[in-house]
Structure 1
């Protein structure tokens, strides 16, 4: 219950900060541009698609590329959003007061995580309005749309948990953002190693965030991919809680 109280407070704080509004505005503007670009592409291809049996529809040509590109935007934006959630508390010496209060480390971390993730879910909710607007002139594959929404929600949770962890390690928000982005980028491109090897490592392929994200994007809801994101998020939340407990025990 305490975690939700902290999350509510942090969520309001994020919305009062200019950075959150800037991130939301930039991401929405870029998403709208990419959406309109894909719609224009679909309009140009309509005559060609009419001659093809089982031709791809609006969902494949517009929605899937849009959500894939937004995943990359989240990779860039989430470290900026999470960089100060704990690092700023350490920098301004307010974390000591927070740790001395009768609040568990788990409640603190979960509260910070839920606030940042909640902000990203607001963004994803606004994003979903774009493909839904296509219903006025076409049809959508709601199964694929739902899987893409779930994929972005799980991906943003993983990104947020990583950002919160690195924010807990440093008193410098910029250092936390760079470290978080570096790890996320590495895990994003791990699957690319298979293009340069005759025998790609199954371990590296499994650890690739991009691989699991793209599997969900196809519309095939796999428990392997969902569990991967849940375990990944849980691992970094656990590491963050453990680090706060370590700071709490220090004299």
Structure 2
């Protein structure tokens, strides 16, 4: 476990050793801050007078926070984060021919993959706190449904965690960071687009958005937790098998 944690810390620190991660964090914060400001302004100018007139029970959580967490721009940034991680995790090691050195060490493939995943998960947790934490500032001026917001924040983190696992798996198949980035972006996009409205049976269950939406409604269901657990566990298991194959080839 100590080796795994060292690998995790190395991966997490390496992400911030280049300007790319810092630029991504800065730009994403700017874009999402502007988005939240736009949604808040629309609520004040359009929705609030109508809600007062109709004496409706909807509030800021329903009309600002949930649309913010479900906005396509935030989802697109999630895919870009997955692409950024895919460039870094294994593809870059293969490109610089440092992966054989890691594979030659007395460390199992499972420890390597778990360490790299935990490093990526640290970055995902940082993103979830930065992106999902901004709406909590609205609590200073209004009353929010904190339980629903925390459920949404958990859903955002699980969505990021699943995309991290996908990025790691894709990264194991390419020695070119750019190819890995495109693969992770497209793979994540397919998961998001599996279901386009309505109940689509098997595709509806496989769609990552259908499970994310449950958290946005404030529901933490066992089926949704199991979906994310199986998706992440399956992708990590496939990545371990891929790394075992690379170890044999090396």
Q: Does the CA contact (< 8 Å) of 2:91 and 2:177 recur in 1?
A: yes
Alpha-carbon distance change, 236 to 146 in structure 1, aligned in 2, over 3 angstroms:
same
Q: Does the CA contact (< 8 Å) of 2:85 and 2:168 recur in 1?
A: no
| Aligned mates of 2:105, 2:21 — CA distance in 1 | 27
Structure 2 gaps of 5+ residues are none
Alpha-carbon distance change, 38 to 147 in structure 1, aligned in 2, over 3 angstroms:
same
Where do residues 1-251 of structure 1 align in structure 2 (5 Å cutoff)? 1=1, 2-44=3-45, 45-69=47-71, 70-192=74-196, 201-251=200-250
For residues 108-166 of structure 1, give each alpha carbon's deviation from its aligned partner in whole angstroms, at most 9, with x where no partner exists. 11111111221121122122332121111101101110111010000000001000101
TM-score, L = length of structure 2: 0.94
| Aligned mates of 2:55, 2:219 — CA distance in 1 | 22
- Give the superposition deviation at 1:206: 0.5
SS of 2:120's equivalent in the other structure is: helix
| Aligned mates of 1:102, 1:154 — CA distance in 2 | 32
| Aligned mates of 2:205, 2:20 — CA distance in 1 | 34
| Aligned mates of 2:132, 2:209 — CA distance in 1 | 21
SS of 1:83's equivalent in the other structure is: helix
Q: Does the CA contact (< 8 Å) of 1:191 and 1:205 recur in 2?
A: yes
Moved over 3 A (4+): none
TM-score, L = length of structure 1: 0.93
| Aligned mates of 1:110, 1:25 — CA distance in 2 | 28
For residues 68-90 of structure 1, give each alpha carbon's deviation from its aligned partner in whole angstroms, at most 9, with x where no partner exists. 12233202332123322101111
| Aligned mates of 1:201, 1:66 — CA distance in 2 | 25
For residues 168-199 of structure 1, give each alpha carbon's deviation from its aligned partner in whole angstroms, at most 9, with x where no partner exists. 1110011111112112111211111x56xxxx
Alpha-carbon distance change, 135 to 165 in structure 1, aligned in 2, over 3 angstroms:
same
**For structure 1, which segment, 49-58 or 5-14, has the greater mean C-alpha deviation from structure 2 after superposition?**
49-58
| Aligned mates of 1:64, 1:105 — CA distance in 2 | 40
| Aligned mates of 2:132, 2:203 — CA distance in 1 | 31
